[in-house]
Amino acid sequence: MLKGEKNISHKASIGEKVFLGERSAVLGNSRIGSGTFIDADVIIGYPTRKRIKDLQMGVANEIESEGSLIGEMCLIRSFSVIYERVKIGNKVETGHRVLIREDTEIGDESIVGTDTVIDGRVKIGERARIETGVYIPPLTIIGKNVFLGPRVVFTNDKYPVSSRWVGVVVEDNVAIGANATIIAGVKIGEGSIVASGAVVTRDIPPGVVVAGVPAKIISSREEFERKKKEYEKMGMQG
């Protein structure tokens, strides 16, 4: 079901059984896969800052978006903005008011929570789970099956404001708790856990649990999983 077809670029390609909500726009050469749900007030293929500045300065006479690629069976909720040159896999789901800037790739079956900002030139692997209000700056690389708790913040500048950006690398199967801060250039090894509120200032080896400010190793992932199983046996409250 398509609504508001006047907001679809003549260059765009829309798959079968796509829902496009009221006041949403699909710009440029965007491609939307079959079965995808685009909620109201969403923009797909928003132009980069450079394109807008070129128009303001008279360098260009119009804005011509390259568009973005949205896979099949995705769910993009209201007031989200996805810039041009973004590639989103199949069965990806966003919350409301999500911003995804240019040259970002998001793998299949990932979830991006409400009010999250992915600030461009970011790579996110399959089945990532990103909770509410996470900030991910340019040059960040996030692996497969990664969990990011609410309000996690990554940085990419060790000496702000400098001209050198250094991205964070998060390897596969990592979990980062709420309100953790990851400092520019850090690598978090596969399978590690970062506790809530931790500030990670140096590389974390695979398979460990870190906590504190600055973050230090407090146990192994194996020990974490043992405690987790004991905790789960207690059952749900309420």
Q: Give residue-wise pLDDT tens across range 185-205.
A: 999 999 999 999 999 999 999
Could you check whether the bond before residue 214 is cis, i.e. omega within 30 degrees of 0?
Answer: yes
177 has a pLDDT exceeding 60: yes
Question: 37-54 pLDDT, tens per residue?
Answer: 999 999 999 999 999 999
CA distance 215 to 85: 35
59's CB contacts (< 8 A; 6+ apart) are none
**Which domains does the chain show, CATH number per domain?**
1-93 (2.160.10.10), 103-237 (2.160.10.10)
* Overall pTM surpassing 0.75 (yes/no): yes
Amino acid at 169: V
Amino acid at 50: K
pLDDT tier for residue 148 given thresholds of 50, 70 and 90: very high
63 has a pLDDT exceeding 70: yes
Length of the chain: 238
CA distance 45 to 21: 16
Lowest-pLDDT choice from 23-32, 48-57, 87-96: 48-57
